[in-house]
Structure 1
Amino acid sequence: MKIHKGLEGVVVSETKISSIVENQLLFAGFNIDDLVAERVQFEEVIFLLWYLRIPTNQELKKFRQELSSQMAISDTIITCLKIQTRQNLHPMSVLRSTISLLGVFDPNAEATDERSTYLQSIALQAKMPTIIAAYARLRKGLDPIPPRNDLSIAANFLYMLTGELAEDIRVEAMNQALVLHADHDLNASTFTARVCASTLSDVYSCITGAVGSLKGPLHGGANEKVFDMLKEIDSENLNVEDYLNQKLDRKEKVMGFGHRVYKTEDPRKKHLKKLAKELTTITQKEQWYFLSCQVERYLKETKGLIPNVDFYSATVYHCMDIDSDLFTLIFAMSRVSGWLGHINEQKKEDCLIRPRSHYIGPKQLKYSELNNRMQSGGMEA
């Protein structure tokens, strides 16, 4: 039995949603470089990932209206968020629990017909930004701000955080970040969602599992750890090279670097690096961009390590005055679009994902009765 650690290089499904071809990331055949260049709105990308085509103007208008109509969250959910503002509870745990609660309070959560699944998907996609923004304010002792029905998802999220309309450049940056994070082949959280969907479980369970997978620092949680590293270097005025060498000597991972799939460059990185430079300039926080560049340059020249999507996204979100422990929640706010597309695709495939493992423990042990076991010291081979 050949072992593929971490399923590296193993193809387990077919998809029409996204692909990585020759170091390029495609959404349903569209190169993300082109989507960014055309300033495609996140709502269009959601539609693309769900329907595998670009919407018409009329379709997009209707789709936006459906999303907008589902953005508000109930007082019950707000009360549950308040309860979860206690100290030492990670925001991703709050998001995971709250997504699960959405299913508890949805009277049609167990319905699996096509129309019900669509309505559940719309609700999950629409409410995710509202939940995150509400929690961000509640833990600071502030009241949540209801969403507006005349704003895009990116603009609405920034508005719900502060109560003020964000400048165009911040809205554009947030929209672009959401587009870049929307989907990415069969990453860990998407695989989690598809495994759950393959059992024909409900949509809320699939998304709850995906959020739990994304939380980990080897996946979506890396962007939070990136900014923790940058803050540590900056606050203690450390030498970048010495800091990184010590970290590597201790066999510690440098978050935001390396990738299971990309060996030359993550195609999303260049767009986020450009955004980081623009935002640090207008917010007068250039030290974060320059520090990031120092880290990137040294690790590339000495270790051949390349930044991934998480590295510069940390600086982008920081320049929007978003707390670092909320970075991964924004990742989820975007990636839920891809998860929902994959869940639907997996259910249509109708194939249970059930791999095997290779047992390496002891064999043919003989069971001893309790009295004998205590006298003899245990089971006998």
Structure 2
Amino acid sequence: MSIYRISTRKLPEAQKLNGLLVRFISADSSLRDVLAAKIPAEQERVKNFRKQYGATKMGETTIDMMYGGMRGIKGLVCETSVLDADEGIRFRGLSIPECQKVLPKAEGGEEPLPEGLFWLLLTGDVPTKGQVKQLSKEWAERAALPQHVVTMLNNMPTTLHPMSQFACAVTALNHDSKFAKAYSEGVHKTKYWEYVYEDSMDLIAKLPVVAATIYCNTYRGGKGSKSIDSSQDWSANFVKMLGYDNPKFTELMRLYLTIHSDHEGGNVSAHTVHLVGSALSDPYLSFAAGMNGLAGPLHGLANQEVLVWLRKLQKELGANPSEEALKEYVWKTLKSGQVVPGYGHAVLRKTDPRYTCQREFALKHLPNDDLFQLVSKIYKIVPPILTETGKVKNPWPNVDAHSGVLLQYYGMKEMNYYTVLFGVSRALGVLASLIWDRALGLPIERPKSLSTDMLMKMVQK
């Protein structure tokens, strides 16, 4: 049984979830204070573990793994989340349904607040409602953009992809990096995490303003509010700046920003942030690099690929095709050498829990929507077809098979923008990990590479 480490105050509000003892931390501790108290103990725990088991082998690397994108190679440490092939994602030991149950919610809301998820990722503790409210307020106070970044965003052509604008703005925010300044002044390496923490808090706070500015400039002719209400949560402020006022869309955004936040350390965006950060690049440069990876069609752009495929399907078959017509279309897609977008996953071997919770949201709030009903039919017929081919290890849908449908329903039709939303969310996980990278003193990442000739000679020997 796993037990979260928490403050020493007696805590009567402990809960058990599937054998996991979850406790809530002291209501009078700030996020920085909780983290500062945990880091020395965790440093010592990792130090002792490495001293005792550092030479232990964790597996073997094959040539296929080396040529196949390092798939399956155990070579990274990620404290914030673990992805199990059969169980799905767990954030610090908690599944998505468990997070939905125990993380604080907005007044009258049903979905977890991303602020609470960030606290959980960073500390392993479930925060109180008061602590989440304090974190919302702190992010609101840190949210203002430097004028040079505002000017840059306002001068970018609207034809520039939103993800390019996003990465550029994040890079430019590096101008005010506290970590870069402290490093240039010779700060001791044991203090690195403190400045990475400050940069990460600033960056997370500013991302909704950056993202909303891009949205309003690109799709609303520059119209929109950039004001932050310190009494509102992170997601509510973001939705307001985007120009939406539907409370259900705000709830969706809270869910979306929570479930897209982290997916262990081996995916392109998370690994890139870790890799670039290992060179002691500040959080802005590291996160911008990760966002350029997230922009790829095989990563964060995948939900857009799903919608493009669905729209082509509807154009050919109509808005409400029969199951038989859908089966023929899926086989046609596969026989043409294409994949069914949104199905399959590099690690998962079951339906992605992130897909499931979005489906549950849709069943509750938009059960009769045509596009959702189409996605539901596809969910029914695609897995058996993919299984029948005998070539697919995971025939089940992933998160991208559903997220775009929900955004379309609430009026956000601009598919090119969806990856920016993903990026705002992913900051929570990768920056929490980056803080721990510096707290644990992880070194620059430098795996060994070999040429094909060298591999052939080694095999012959």
Contact 1:81 1:98 in 2 (8 A): yes
Q: Name 1:313's counterpart in structure 2.
A: 403
Task: State the secondary structure of the residue aligned to 2:225.
Answer: coil
Match of 2:164 among 85, 93, 99: 93
Percent of residue pairs bearing the same amino acid type = 25
In 2, the alpha carbon distance for the partners of 1:25 and 1:127 equals: 27
| Aligned partner of residue 62 in structure 2, secondary structure | coil
Name the residue aligned to 1:336. 427
Q: Aligned equivalents of 1:246 and 1:289: distance in 2? A: 22
Is the CA contact (8 Å cut-off) linking 1:279 and 1:316 kept in structure 2?
Answer: no
Q: Residue 358 of structure 1: CA displacement?
A: 3.1
Match of 1:114 among 187, 190, 193: 193
Kept in 1, the 8 Å contact 2:217–2:223? The answer is yes
2-side partners of 1:349 and 1:105: how far apart?
Answer: 23
Secondary structure at 1:307's aligned position in 2?
Answer: coil
Partner of 1:265: 351
Kindly indicate whether the alpha-carbon contact (under 8 Å) linking 1:155 and 1:165 is maintained by their aligned counterparts in 2.
no
SS of the aligned residue for 2:401 comes to helix
Contact 1:85 1:135 in 2 (8 A): no
Contact 1:217 1:225 in 2 (8 A): yes
The yes-or-no answer on 1:176 pairing with 2:240 is no
Instruction: Read off the aligned partner of 1:117 and give its amino acid letter.
Output: V
TM-score (norm 2): 0.72
**What's the counterpart of residue 287 of structure 1?**
370
Shift >6 Å, 4+ stretches: none
* 2:140–2:205 Cα contact (<8 Å) kept: yes
Gaps of 5+ in 2: 1-60, 103-110, 184-191, 319-324, 388-394, 456-461
Name the amino acid aligned to 1:158. Answer: V
State the Cα distance separating 1:106 from its structure 2 match.
4.5
- SS of the residue corresponding to residue 170 of structure 1 reads helix
The answer to whether 1:9 aligns with 2:67 is no
SS in 2 for 1:104: helix
Q: By how many angstroms is 1:11 displaced?
A: 1.3
Q: How far apart, CA to CA, are the structure 2 residues paired with 1:349 and 1:308?
A: 34
Unaligned regions of 5+ residues in structure 1, if any?
364-381
Which residue matches 2:115?
Answer: 43
Quote the residue 2:240 is aligned against. 159
1:108, distance to aligned residue in structure 2 (A): 5.9
User: Match for 1:30 among 64, 74, 94?
Assistant: 94
Residue type of the partner of 1:294?
A: K
Partners of 1:72 and 1:235 in 2: how far apart?
A: 44
Query: What residue number does 1:297 align with?
Result: 380
Quote the offset at 1:280 in angstroms: 3.1
**Greater CA drift, 46-55 or 327-336:** 46-55
Q: Give distance in 1, aligned partners of 2:194 and 2:117.
A: 21
Q: What is the one-letter code of the residue matched to 1:104? A: H
Equivalent position SS for 1:26: strand
Deviation of 1:109 after TM superposition, in Å, equals 4.1
- Provide closer, same or farther for how the CA distance between residues 349 and 252 of structure 1 changes in structure 2, counting only shifts above 3 A: farther
Q: Which amino acid aligns with 1:219?
A: H
Superposed counterparts of 1:355-370, under 5 Å: 355-360=447-452
Q: 2:326 is matched with which residue: 237, 240, 252?
A: 240
Letter in 1 for 2:62: K
Q: 1:32 to 1:79 in 2, by over 3 A?
A: same
- Aligned residue number for residue 33 of structure 2: none
Query: Deviation digits for residues 139-188 of structure 1, max 9, x if unmatched?
Result: 231334122222112211111111x5332x22222111111111111222
**Farther-moved stretch of structure 1 (198-207 vs 112-121):** 112-121
Counterpart contact for 2:275–2:444, Cα < 8 Å: yes
What is the one-letter code of the residue matched to 1:116? Y
* Contact 2:170 2:287 survives alignment (8 Å): yes
Distance 1:65 1:207, change over 3 A: same
Q: Are the counterparts in 2 of residues 15 and 345 from structure 1 also a CA contact under 8 Å?
A: no
| Distance across 1 between alignment mates of 2:112 and 2:296 | 29
2:229 is the counterpart of 1:148: yes
- Once the two structures are TM-superposed, the CA of residue 215 in structure 1 deviates from its matched residue by 0.8
One-letter amino acid of the counterpart of residue 170, structure 1: F
The answer to whether the Cα contact below 8 Å between 1:91 and 1:329 also exists between their aligned partners in 2 is: yes
Q: CA deviation at 1:360?
A: 2.2
Q: What letter corresponds to residue 7 of structure 1 in structure 2?
A: M
2:83 to 7, 16, 20: 20
Cα distance in 1 for partners of 2:179, 2:447 equals 31
| Residues 110 and 203 of structure 1, relative CA distance in 2, 3 Å threshold | farther
Report the equivalent of 2:288: 208
CA RMSD of aligned residues (A): 2.2
Asked if the contact 2:179/2:282 (under 8 Å) is kept, the reply is: no
Deviation string, structure 1 residues 108-143 (Cα, Å, up to 9, x no partner) = 644353332222111111111111111111123133
